[in-house]
Amino acid sequence: MAYGGKNKLKQDKGPLWRGLHMGVMTFILSILLTLTANSVLTLFGLFSSILILLLIVGTGIVFDIIGVAVTATDESSFHSMAAKKVHGAAHAIRLVRHADRVSSFCNDVVGDICGTVSGAAAASIVFNLLVHDLIAEQAVVSLLLVGLVAAFTVGGKAAGKYLALYRCREITHQVGRIMAWFESRLGLNVLADKGKMRRR
């Protein structure tokens, strides 16, 4: 009984370590990106600040789409493409074989960071409006802006999930092409190859 428990503990070290690693990385990136976003927003006007806020929200939606699409894709659909040397097909297979890590990074890490940074950006916009005497009621404007950000984020992700499920193959292939381009330009191996096929 004790032997089985030790084996189970050994098997659980991988997910536990990965979770700890993702948590620490999210913590550090959230702080850095929030500080950067606040610093950048103070240098731009209201219109530019709103565009930056929409860019942050849009980034979270796009990465959420990628995470869902890669998880929903069957890797066998890319085998013939990879055999024909279609650009990005081999990288798409790697994405699908690492679907758990891709989903965790895109949906959890990037998604949570964008949510945190967008909230901080919204607060910074409200503060700048207050400083320049463009608003009288800070609480009301804060509630409205935070509500709009949440609405755009949730609504965008809901529409994005529908798109990701019905266009998962095309989205995964496009991400594979982008990843192949970055690897050829920078010489970085983003995801290691896995020999085992992921079946459903």
Whether 192 is in a domain gets the answer: no
Which residue range is the domain that position 113 belongs to? 2-186
Whether 72 is in a domain gets the answer: yes
Whether 165 is in a domain gets the answer: yes
Say if residue 93's pLDDT is above 70.
yes
Angstrom distance (rounded) from CA 104 to CA 66: 11
- List Cβ neighbours of 144 (8 Å cut-off, separation of 6 or more): none
Per-residue pLDDT at 8: 43
Per-residue pLDDT at 14: 62
Whether 181 is in a domain gets the answer: yes
Whether 195 is in a domain gets the answer: no
Whether 174 is in a domain gets the answer: yes
DSSP state of 113: H
Angstrom distance (rounded) from CA 63 to CA 91: 17
Whether 200 is in a domain gets the answer: no
Per-residue pLDDT at 165: 93
Answer yes or no: are the C-beta atoms of 124 and 41 closer than 8 Å. yes
Whether 191 is in a domain gets the answer: no
Answer yes or no: are the C-beta atoms of 171 and 69 closer than 8 Å. yes
Tally of domains within the chain:
1
136 pLDDT tier (thresholds 50, 70, 90)? low
119 pLDDT tier (thresholds 50, 70, 90)? confident
Give 30-82 as a DSSP string.
HHHHHHHHHHHHHHS-HHHHHHHHHHHHHHHHHHHHHHHHHHH--GGGGHHHH
Give pTM, 2 decimals. 0.77
User: What proportion of the chain, given as a percentage, has pLDDT over 70?
Assistant: 75
